[in-house]
Amino acid sequence: MICINTLSPKPGVTIWYAGIREIIQSVFKKHARPDLRAVLNQSFEKQDFIKPFLSHEEISTINGFKALKKQIEWISGRYLIKQMMQQLFFKNTSLDQITLSYLDQGAPFLTTSPDLPVSLSHSNDYTASAACKNKKQTIGIDIEKITKKPDAFFMKTAFTQNEIAHLKDDAAQIFKNWTIKEAYLKYIKKGFNESLHRVEVINNEILHNNSKIDVDVFSTFINDDYVLSLVSD
């Protein structure tokens, strides 16, 4: 049984997050359940899953990944967002008919409803998805596991000197700022195609090319081990 956690940071916006291990244990048939400690990729078929939720094209995409970790994250994220889309918007559509495509710079969209705002993220044990009922809105989500304080190289790569000057010497707050920045990069549908130093997160406010951006920022900590952030109109 998968425990899906729901957040509603603002009217019309829904966030789901769930444990990747729980998803894998629930969607794979017992004999086909992958060994999560494995490094190399595995070959999956539709019949490996208890209920069909992936299209033939998606199975082909999964089998093209070189690492099992990437395959598992992709499978888990697809399962979560498809369940979300079915429950919220497409109750009479089977999961394997709900598919996602990507813009040139990597932003996901629903193939049959490209104007419906969605966003995906995963980190270690969790995968998360977000959707918005207002088709005129834009959203971006990111989830990260909180580890020890990042080293100086990461700090200089991820943040500007101005950001570093405002950051507390605390791993949780550093990762919170990082998730806000990543969520914003997804919000503008560029991801890491945009320079990290053109975007600054200072006191929960976002500046892009030195101009303050008028967006809503939502952040929450999960079990003190993860931080999840959403940027929206």
Say if 231 falls within a structural domain.
Answer: no
51, 152: one domain:
no
Say if 229 falls within a structural domain.
Answer: no
- List the CATH number of the domain containing 21: 3.90.470.20
User: Which of 76, 102, 137 is the last residue before a domain boundary?
Assistant: 137
Say if 232 falls within a structural domain.
Answer: no
Range of the domain at 184: 145-218
Say if 14 falls within a structural domain.
Answer: yes
User: Which of 121, 137, 153 is the last residue before a domain boundary?
Assistant: 137
Say if 53 falls within a structural domain.
Answer: yes
13, 103: one domain:
yes
32, 120: one domain:
yes
126, 156: one domain:
no
156, 127: one domain:
no
77, 183: one domain:
no
* Per-residue pLDDT at 17: 97
The per-residue DSSP string of 70-121 comes to HHHHHHHHHHHHHHHHHHHT-TTS-GGG--EEE-TTS-EEESS-TTS-EEEE
Q: Is the pLDDT of residue 227 over 80?
A: yes
203, 118: one domain:
no
Sequence-ordered alpha helix ranges (H) in the chain: 20-27, 56-63, 68-88, 152-158, 161-166, 171-187
What pLDDT digit, counting tens, does each position of 130-143 carry? 999 999 999 999 99
Q: Which pTM was predicted?
A: 0.93
Say if 22 falls within a structural domain.
Answer: yes
Task: Say how far apart CA 126 and CA 67 lie, in whole Å.
Answer: 18
52, 167: one domain:
no
As a whole-number percent, the residues of the chain with pLDDT over 70 amount to 100
151, 125: one domain:
no
Which two three-digit tokens encode residue 32? 């086909």
Which two three-digit tokens encode residue 70? 């990437």
89, 174: one domain:
no
User: Which of 94, 110, 137 is the last residue before a domain boundary?
Assistant: 137
133, 161: one domain:
no
What pLDDT digit, counting tens, does each position of 132-172 carry? 999 999 999 999 999 998 999 999 999 999 999 999 889 99
What number of residues does the chain have?
233
For residues 57-70, give the mean pLDDT: 94
104, 131: one domain:
yes
Say if 224 falls within a structural domain.
Answer: no
Say if 225 falls within a structural domain.
Answer: no
Number of compact structural domains in the chain? 2
Largest CA distance in the chain: 54
Q: Is the pLDDT of residue 1 over 80?
A: no
Which two three-digit tokens encode residue 96? 């394997």
